[in-house]
């Protein structure tokens, strides 16, 4: 399968890349802001494009054979989906905590409500760590020891690169002249 053909297939198959929670949150915030402005691609398409880019880069960075890649892809996709699902759950919990504690808002939560929400967040974070570890272990089963080590480095590097790309897109949108519809 050629590199271009593989990329086209991957665009339709991949989920989100994630690494450090802070970087994922920044990426989601940037993408959400772009989506709210009504410009560019919808968030899901942006995520798929970035994921396709990450998978192609991962194959090269890790030096995967075609056989390894065929085993790696569904497990990597599962890891990406696990991260996405858990990131969204965590983001919803944090937004709820923000709403409950916002001094400008009308809703002032009781201490019991806050305690319960914090407990739920801690449980979700523990579950997330376990789910991600299992998904990463599945990916590791397709890799040799050197590739496993490189995969950890790759996760960090690709997350940084994705943030750079998103910041660059955002900056370029800010520099574009406004296009007015013709009347």
pLDDT digits (tens, 9 = 90+) for 145-167: 999 999 999 999 988 988 888 88
Q: Taking residues 38-54, what's their average pLDDT?
A: 76
At 19, give phi and psi (nearest 5°): -145, -110
Closest by Cα among 124, 31, 10, 133 to 77 = 10
Confidence grade of residue 101 (pLDDT, cut at 50, 70, 90):
confident
Give the predicted TM-score (pTM) of the model: 0.66
Q: Taking residues 46-67, what's their average pLDDT?
A: 88
pLDDT at 17: 36
Instruction: Calculate the CA 152 to chain-centre distance.
Output: 16
Q: How many CB atoms lie within 10 A of CB 178?
A: 4
Rounded CA separation 71/93 (Å):
34
Out of 29-43, 79-93, 168-182, pick the least confident: 29-43
Read off the DSSP letter of residue 182.
P
pLDDT at 122: 93
Q: Is the per-residue pLDDT at 38 higher than 90?
A: no
Q: Is the per-residue pLDDT at 32 higher than 50?
A: yes
- Burial string for 85-103 (b: 16+ CB within 10 Å, else e) reads ebbebbeebeeebeeeeee
pLDDT higher at 65 or 41: 65
pLDDT at 2: 43
Determine whether 125 is exposed, middle or buried from the number of CB atoms within 10 Å of its CB (0-12, 13-18, 19+): middle
Q: How many CB atoms lie within 10 A of CB 52?
A: 19
């Amino acid at each position: 399968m050629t590199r271009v053909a593989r990329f086209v297939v991957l665009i339709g198959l991949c989920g989100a890349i994630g690494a450090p929670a802070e970087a994922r949150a920044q990426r989601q915030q940037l993408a959400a802001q772009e989506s709210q402005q009504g410009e560019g691609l919808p968030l899901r398409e942006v995520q798929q494009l970035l994921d396709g880019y990450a998978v192609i880069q991962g194959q090269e960075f890790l030096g995967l054979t075609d056989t390894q890649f065929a085993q790696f892809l569904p497990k990597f996709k599962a890891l990406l989906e696990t991260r996405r699902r858990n990131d969204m759950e965590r983001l919803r919990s944090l937004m709820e905590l923000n709403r409950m504690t916002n001094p400008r808002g009308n809703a002032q939560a009781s201490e019991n409500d806050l305690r319960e929400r914090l407990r739920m967040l801690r449980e979700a974070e523990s579950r997330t760590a376990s789910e991600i570890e299992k998904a990463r272990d599945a990916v590791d089963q397709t890799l040799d020891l050197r590739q496993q080590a490189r995969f950890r480095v790759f996760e960090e590097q690709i997350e940084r690169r994705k943030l750079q790309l998103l910041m660059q897109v955002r900056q370029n949108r800010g520099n574009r002249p406004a296009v007015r519809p013709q009347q």
